[in-house]
Amino acid sequence: MNRLTVTFNSYGTRCEAWFYPGPEDSRFDGPTGRPVVVMAHGFAGTKDSGLEPFALRLADAGFAVFAFDYRGFGASEGQVRQRISMADQADDYRAAIAAVGARPGIDRNRIVLWGLSQSGGHVLVVAAGRSDVCAVVSMVPMVSGIAAGRHNFATVGAKGMLRSTAVGLGSAMAAKVGARRRMLPVVGEPGENAALTAPGYLEAYESIAGPTWRNEVDAAVGLELGSFNADKHADDIDAPVLVQIADFDRAAPPYAASKTAFKARAQVRHYPCDHFDVFEGRGWFEPAVAHQLSFLTAQLSSVEAGADCNLSGEAR
């Protein structure tokens, strides 16, 4: 499958994306072009860390795909590096939508938003109130920072939570006075001072990590996540939504995802697995991808090319 490396502007910063045009002919093609799936990674992830297998399967099915790196991560430019801003990353999605919508052969009114883990929350936020989004795929989503903190308490304990909070506050204060920010490993062994420390998570993340991924993030991320709540936007989404939940997820709380899915009137699929088990090479990749393709085929086949989208997938 052909893959092009392209760049686009996100609020003054050059970002990098991989564009998959898809096959020469697609069942989804129309007079105004074909629908495009816009995707980015989850918590501190980069496009070269496990996204391509999803992108290739979607492109093979007849969709164009645009997989990008957020500002400050991977191959995208931006300072400060490795700093997560939930608002900025949502804006990067919006900039990516505008950029790929201007490409020849793309139907800018048939956008599919695809997110995984943290970006599974972003796509719910970005989709709200938009008529050009025809479908949303939210996979093992992190939809509430508070719920995620409570969910991970059993893994890190009170001391771990207090230590991470102290380091995060220190990084935030350092940034205010122009000093060097404090960094935190994205993933580590149980008992280590890292954002994700569930048993097996270090090996799981390293197994998908690409060459641009770095195992560090601005330690102030905990303060940033604390106010994140994709649930408040869920009932403003007019497009059909698929939420894929890992029932034994130790990173993103399944109960919070279920609550948000209900509010979004979403189709829901459950998998008896943990957070990283939906990636290629692990047991639940194939079922998860099959459900995405079935969902998107049903939704996009019922939307007239060039028309705005609504909840039922019919043209407005």
Give the model confidence (pLDDT) of 113-148 as tens digits: 999 999 999 999 999 999 999 999 999 999 987 776
pLDDT in tens, 243-290: 999 999 999 999 999 999 999 999 999 999 999 999 999 899 999 999
C-alpha 44/C-alpha 54 separation (Å) is 18
**pLDDT score for 223:** 74
Q: How far apart are CA 135 and CA 143, in angstroms?
A: 18
The full set of domain ranges for the chain reads 4-144+229-301
Residue 310's contacts (CB-CB under 8 Å, 6 or more residues apart) are: 131, 238, 239, 316
In the block, tokens 């899915």 appear at: 261
Write out the CATH class of domain 4-144+229-301: alpha beta
**At 120, is the secondary structure helix, strand, or coil?**
helix
pLDDT level of residue 314 (50, 70, 90 thresholds): very low
Give the confidence band of 155 by pLDDT, cuts at 50, 70, 90. low
Percent of the chain surpassing pLDDT 70: 84
Nearest partner of 92 among 9, 27, 209, judged by Cα: 9
End-to-end CA distance of the chain: 33
Higher per-residue pLDDT: 315 or 79: 79
Residue 311 has pLDDT above 70, yes or no: no
**How many DSSP H helices and E strands does the chain contain?**
8, 10
Token pair listed for 237: 């989404």
pLDDT value at position 193?
87
117 vs 245, 246, 314, CA distance in Å? Answer: 10, 11, 29
Write down the mean pLDDT value for the chain.
88
Structure token pair of residue 241: 């939504």
Q: How far apart, in whole angstroms, are the C-alpha atoms of residue 202 and residue 199?
A: 8
Q: Please report the DSSP string for 207-222 in residue order.
A: HH--TT--S-EETTHH
> How far apart are alpha carbons 122 and 62 in whole angstroms?
24
Residue 200 region, left (φ>0) first, then alpha (ψ -120 to 50), else beta?
A: left
Residue 305: band (very low, low, confident or very high) from pLDDT cuts 50, 70, 90? low
Please give the DSSP secondary-structure letter assigned to residue 247.
T
| Calpha distance 28→158 (Å, rounded) | 51
Mean pLDDT of 27-49: 97
Tell me: pLDDT of 24 over 90.
Answer: yes
